[in-house]
Structure 1
């Protein structure tokens, strides 16, 4: 088992939820936290604890991006007009790795980050290796011709555990996807409840 997979599984157990909805998640068998004290009865979380948990869950979902990067996305969302929590979700879903994952080109958000960094993706005809690149509505994301026969790609497109959301237009034969609009919280198919409003409260305190 690789370090990346261990970290991903540890996140599920720490949160006490299968945050990606994966059938192989250890939380499906062990509904308690990791470590020798994981089975102890947990006390009720304080308001701060709930806010922190909401931030860790949302940050962890997007391939456990760094705190500095996540705070930067929050700060940008706070500067935008409208609801900050909705803006935060919109900015996270506009990341290139998130679109690659939503289009079912890969099976996990972690794999999406790696897939982009290894140069398998083009945006509007240009090769891109930055997973955090911000995609605009109408941008075309395409798997490079040399990468279209990769086993990981073929396996992911056949996964029945999740569907492509309606704000990502996808053609799996051509391996092309397009972001048609910026989604809100209710549009994103999270397997568990995300609470971006608590994330906003965490950073605003």
Structure 2
């Protein structure tokens, strides 16, 4: 598993957006970058810079995805039929860690990765500890019986700042969730605007 050495708040400040939608994000108070030069007026960003920023935002939204892994997902999306940017979103949202997070079994995407790694999740009845595992429509995930009363899980379910999207059928009484369809970009509840079309432009240069 790749490790993120920078704090989550630094990611927000570097990108200038509350990428995870957290109430305590520093950009809720100040939208300029970190450091003594953070408040300098910025010039117009180049096309490359705009594309790079779009890639950083989308990649960052899924926690600790490495550049190598993210590029691999892009190449897979580009080989699929249809629109590459739509395919990219569909592949990212079909990851096990993304579904565990969207189903509100954990409070953050980072917690989802750790939760899965520690063996708290089953997929179709079998324990799975790989957060990047790809789920198919109809696959069912379940929080392991001994993990259902964990404080982390109960805290996440009680969160009111986000809802379970309609492409995931979550039952919090049974701690199960099912991917009912592959979502489009407009279906995914990103806290900030994502531009996967610019990510495609970045990689296809």
State how far apart, in whole Å, the 1-side matches of 2:155 and 2:4 are: 19
In the superposition, the TM-score normalised over structure 2's length comes to 0.96
Residues 174-202 of structure 1, C-alpha deviations (whole Å, 9 max, x = no match):
10000000001011011111000000000
SS across alignment from 1:63: coil
In the alignment, the residues of structure 2 paired with residue 128 and residue 62 of structure 1 have an alpha-carbon distance, to the nearest angstrom, of 19
RMSD, aligned CA: 1.2
- What is the rounded CA distance, in whole Å, between the counterparts of 2:39 and 2:140 in structure 1? 47
Q: Which runs of 5+ in 1 are unaligned?
A: none
TM alignment of 1:50-129, pairs within 5 A: 50-129=50-129
SS in structure 2 opposite 1:113? helix
In the other structure, the counterpart of 2:18 is 18
Partner of 2:162: 162
Q: What residue ranges of structure 2 are gaps of 5+ in the alignment?
A: none
What SS does structure 2 have at the residue aligned with 1:92? helix
Q: Which residue pairs with 1:49 in the alignment?
A: 49
Runs of 4+ in 1 over 6 A off after TM superposition: none
Does the CA-based 8 Å contact 2:4-2:64 persist in structure 1? no
TM-score normalised to the size of structure 1? Answer: 0.96
* Counterpart for residue 148 of structure 1: 148
Pairs aligned (count): 203
